[in-house]
Chains A and B, each alone.
Chain A
Amino acid sequence: MITVEHLRHDYEGKGNYAVDDISFQVPPGHIFGFLGPSGAGKSTVQNILTGLLPLQEGEATLAGQTVRRLRPVFFNRIGYSFEHPNLFGKLTALENLRFYAGLFAVPTLDPFQLLERVGLGGSAHKRVAQYSKGMKQRLLFVRSIMHRPDILFLDEPESGLDPSTALVIKQMIREERDRGAAVLLTTHNMYAADELCDQVAFMDHGRILAAGSPRQLKLQYGESLVRVEYRPAAPTSAATATAGAAGLERASLDLARPEDQASLNRLMQSARIETIHSSEASLEAIFIKLTGRSLSQ
């Protein structure tokens, strides 16, 4: 369990808070996603929770243990994968994993099998300095889970990965969740967050703007729109001009408005509808709505 209460952090001590009064919980067997653009304060939170930065204000605990005094032995229960690779470039992937496995006082998974699982079996004996960014990312990820941690910090785990490898990594993250690990996922990839996370929090300028399950947020902040494509009642030159390539007309109908509800009813009774889709808000759209800027900014 990760518990954070009223966390604040000021790098310069001048009242410019990089993290400003944030609170959240990640129970075991849950994936919590931090969504926000660069500089939002996501990494600062992660660094405080792992003890890389001192806890200035508020309280944060990992499995009931305050992060103010994390003893080395406690790191047997923590796994992390940061966005920037921190591996021994002069060592091979296998040597890197064997070295870290040697540091843990708990049983670890077979390094070679882990490398094979993420498609690095063939490069296991290659020095990490020769790895591409995506290969390093995969190696970092398997290093983070090799000791089966109770708490897992993942910072942009999909960064630099091709779609098929990203699928494997996502599956492995779900397996960690299902095993009972509390996972804190930091990303600005809304699709990854949407697919993986049980809960997400939007973060900007050090504050959590909104938090909840992706579905709950979409329902809360999205519009109940229905997008309809339909055949025109009578083909006229004007209708053809506004129709799509297939000669269909399109409409976005807000189900909260009575007149749009009536229009939808009429269209359905006329049997002219070709396609109909509910229009949920994406996490990206919600973030833009909340902040006025994009996640990638």
Chain B
Amino acid sequence: MKAFSSLIRQEALIMARNHLFMVLAIVLAASAGSIHLVRWYDASRTAPERPAMLQAGGHRLAVEYLPASVAEPPLAERMAVALMVCEVLILGFLFGSVGLFQEKEEGSLRAYRLSPGGQARWIGAKLTLWTGLSVAYAFALLGTAALRLDGASLAGIALVTALGGCLMTALGLAISACFQNLSQWFIPGVGVLLVNMLPLAFQGATNPPVWLWLIPGWPALQAYGQLLSGAGQAAGGGVALSWLVVWLLAANCLMLPTLAWVVRRRIFKEARS
């Protein structure tokens, strides 16, 4: 436990000195008051009261319900929440990778390999830190609006963010482990991020293509949409929230052993140093 907490403290300290928290503060300040969720509802169904209350309270999270007959809203409006969601989920993907390359460049990763720390703690500390930061960041983005959500929705947001953040951090670390430095990683890494952004183009679509389910951002996006506009409500006959959580859980179950395998082969047991 001592080694684990030491690892988390060290990772957080380095990220603080990399001005991560300043960057997040700027993003938070810039996003203040701009989070606007637009959803359609079936005219035969009653719109839930809670989102309306949020809207009336003038809080930062505004949820606007449009009848199904209304024309599609402007793209920028539809993407506001989606962008928020993606920033939260890619936190560990981006900064975890940057941290890894920094450790490779400084040689501190090599030094760690000759310590009793071990691979499991190294991976665990990174996932714990970035998952925790993702959850904290998600609530910071929601701001005071989070206070008006019920406990189940808050827990749902925390769970989805934790699962999505963990998945993306693990994916980011697994990809970064295969490259020597940030320059080599840049094109493939950004490529993965671009692919992960594809769901944004289909946010709110009534018949999204099936292949979207191969992209980690898609189920998280669906889950957030449901949680913010009424817990568990599947818009337009979408997949139930519980299944979205199961999807994220299953993806983590696949990703974590893959990460452990890649890290063991590429970092902890590399053939040449």
A and B interact: yes
**Complex Cα gap A11–B3 (Å):** 34
Number of interface residues of A (CB under 8 A): 33
Q: B254-273: contact bitstring with A at CB < 8 Å (1 yes, 0 no)?
A: 00000000000000010111
Q: Smallest CB-CB separation from A70: which chain B residue?
A: B114
Which of the residues A87, A88, A102, A104 comes within 8 Å of B5, measured between beta carbons? A102
Smallest distance from the beta carbon of B4 to chain A beta carbons, Å?
9
Q: Which residues of A82-102 have CB atoms within 8 Å of chain B's CB atoms? A: 82, 84-91, 95, 98-102
Q: Is the CB of A90 within 8 A of B13?
A: yes
Q: Which of A49-57, A110-118, A208-216 contacts B (4 or more CB under 8 A)?
A: A49-57
Closest to B105 in A: A89
B6 engages A76 (CB within 8 Å):
no
Contacts A84-B107, A87-B106: A104 and B116 contacting too (C-beta < 8 A)?
Answer: yes
Evaluate contact between A80 and B114: CB separation under 8 angstroms.
yes
Cβ of B6 to closest chain A Cβ, rounded Å: 3
Q: Is the CB–CB distance between B114 and A78 below 8 Å?
A: yes
**Chain B residues closer than 8 Å to A47, beta-carbon distance:** 273
By size class, the interface of chain B is 20 to 34
Q: Within 8 Å of chain B (Cβ to Cβ): is A219?
A: no
Cβ contacts under 8 Å, A90 to chain B: 13-14, 17-18, 102
Bound Cα distance from A87 to B116, whole angstroms: 16
With A11-B272, A88-B106 in contact, is A72–B10 under 8 Å at CB? Answer: no
Hey, which chain B residues are within 8 Å of A246, CB to CB? none
Whether, in the assembled complex, A103 has its beta carbon less than 8 Å from a beta carbon of chain B, the answer is: yes
Asked if A221 is at the interface of the complex by the 8 Å CB criterion, the answer is no
CB-defined contacts of B273 to chain A, threshold 8 Å: 47, 52-53
Residue A102 contacts which of B3, B13, B14, B106 (CB distance < 8 angstroms)? Answer: B3
B2 touching A95, Cβ below 8 Å: no
Say whether A88 contacts B10, CB under 8 Å.
yes
Known: A11-B272, A53-B272. A103 touches B117 (CB 8 A): yes
Determine the residue in chain B with the shortest Cβ distance to A91.
Answer: B13
Residues of A within 8 A of B107 (CB): 82, 84-87
Known contacts A11-B272, A72-B116, A99-B10, A87 near B3 by CB under 8 Å: no
Q: Check A75 for interface membership: any CB of B closer than 8 A.
A: yes
A268 interface residue (CB < 8 Å to B): no
Given the interface contacts A86-B106, A88-B10, does A103 sit within 8 Å of B115 by beta carbon? yes
For B119, give the chain A residue with the smallest CB separation: A72
Which residue of chain B lies nearest to A11 when distances are taken between CB atoms in the complex?
B272
| Least distance between A24 CB and chain B CB atoms (Å) | 21
Q: Which residues of B contact A89 (CB under 8 A)?
A: 106
* B115 touching A75, Cβ below 8 Å: yes
Contact of B114 among A50, A95, A105 (CB under 8 A): A50
User: How far, in Å, is A70 (CB) from chain B's closest CB?
Assistant: 9
A253 to B140, CA, bound (A): 86
A73 within 8 A of B: yes
Find A86's partner among B6, B7, B111 (CB 8 Å cutoff): B111
Q: Once bound together, how far apart are the Cα atoms of A82 and B107, in whole Å?
A: 10
Shortest Cβ distance from A113 into chain B, in angstroms?
A: 19
**B 79-107 binary contact with A (CB < 8 Å = 1; else 0):** 00000000000000000000000100011
Inter-chain CA distance A87–B10, complex, in Å, is 12
- Within B109-151, the residues touching A (CB, 8 Å) are 110-119
A103 to chain B, nearest CB (A): 4
Which residues on B sit within 8 Å (CB–CB) of A78? Answer: 114
* A88-B108 contact, Cβ under 8 Å, with A54-B271, A99-B9, A102-B2: yes
A72 touching B117 in the complex, CB below 8 Å, given contacts A54-B271, A102-B3: yes
Q: Is the CB of A87 within 8 A of B108?
A: yes
A78 to B116, CA, bound (A): 9
Nearest CB to that of B111 among chain A residues?
A86
Bound complex: CA A84 to CA B118 (Å) = 22
CB-based contact B116/A51 at 8 Å: no
Residues of A within 8 A of B119 (CB): 72
User: How far is it, in angstroms, between the C-alpha of A85 and the C-alpha of B108 when the chains are bound?
Assistant: 8
From B99, which residue of chain A is reached at the shortest CB distance? A90
Residues of the A chain whose Cβ atoms lie less than 8 Å from the Cβ of B110: 52, 82, 86
Complex alpha-carbon distance, A86 and B109, angstroms: 8
Q: Are A76 and B14 in contact (CB under 8 A)?
A: no
In the bound assembly, the distance between CA atoms of A73 and B2 in angstroms comes to: 14
Cβ distance B117 to chain A, nearest Cβ, rounded Å: 4
B-chain residues with CB within 8 Å of residue A95 when the two chains form the complex: 10, 13
Across the interface, do B114 and A87 meet the contact criterion of CB distance under 8 Å? no
Query: Contact: A99 with B6, CB < 8 Å?
Result: yes
* Complex Cα gap A11–B160 (Å): 46
Which 3 pairs across A and B sit closest by C-beta, in order of nearness? A102-B6, A86-B107, A72-B118
Q: Can you name 12 extra interface pairs (CB under 8 A) apart from A73-B116, A86-B107, A100-B115?
A: A53-B273, A72-B119, A75-B116, A86-B108, A87-B107, A89-B106, A90-B13, A95-B10, A95-B13, A103-B6, A103-B7, A103-B116
